[in-house]
Amino acid sequence: GAEYNHGSQYWFNFTPSQDDIIAPKTATRGHVIEAYVIHKVSKRFLVRLGYIDYTYDYSGSGWHIGAPKKLDSTPVLGFPTYDKAKMWTLTMTARF
């Protein structure tokens, strides 16, 4: 499967408590592309391999406070701000 998410400069995510390692892809002020493969090992066991590519356009992804700043400019943000991130995932699901 494949998914594409786009968040504008003022995009706000209503699920800030997600436990993704980098950040919730739905909170990104920019673009996120995800590709994944799901393999059914048995009737009740699935394995999922995925890749997520984040491209941030504005600061403050996932934050509710402060005005977003364009990342290609040189604002003083006071905290580390990344413009790209990549993540591989391996998920195993067992149904009982």
Contact 49, 37 (CB under 8 A): yes
pLDDT per residue over 20-45, tens digit each?
777 788 888 999 999 999 999 999 99
Average pLDDT, the chain: 85
Q: How far is 31 from 53, CA to CA, in rounded Å? A: 8
Tokens matching residue 19: 């436990």
pLDDT per residue over 81-96, tens digit each?
778 999 999 999 999 9
Instruction: Specify the higher pLDDT residue, 82 or 57.
Output: 57
pLDDT of residue 41: 96
What are the structural domain ranges in the chain?
2-94
Give the other-Cβ count within 10 Å of 46's Cβ. Answer: 15
Q: pLDDT at residue 17 above 70? A: no
